[in-house]
Amino acid sequence: MPGGNWQNDRRIAKKDRMNLFEKIVDSENLYRAFLQARRGKAGKGTVSSLWELQQELRAKTYKPAAYTNFRIKYPKPRLITAA
């Protein structure tokens, strides 16, 4: 490691993770992700739920929904897992 100070490197890594978390829970970032995830889906989710999501992420209380499994036969048989 350049510099050889692993404690300083560790503090920098922690700071980088905190900066990344703040970027993830940023309102604009969550809205862009919402728009991207919403493509091709009819009426699922609302913008108001983004505020709730942001609050849960910041409070570290967010729990993702359970997954649903279903099988399709066309074009080939397979198991699909969806949130």
pLDDT of residue 1: 45
Confidence (pLDDT) at 69: 95
CA distances from 33 to 26, 36, 47 (A): 11, 5, 11
pLDDT value at residue 37: 81
Token pair belonging to 74: 């066309």
Model pLDDT, residue 7: 63
pLDDT at 3: 54
- List per-block mean pLDDT (blocks of 10 residues) for the chain, which spans 83 residues: 60 75 90 84 71 92 90 94 84
Decide: pTM greater than 0.85.
no
Longest Cα–Cα distance in the chain:
58
SS3 of 3-48: CCCHHHHHHHHHHHHHHHHHHHCCHHHHHHHHHHHHCCCCCCCCCH
pLDDT for residue 18? 74
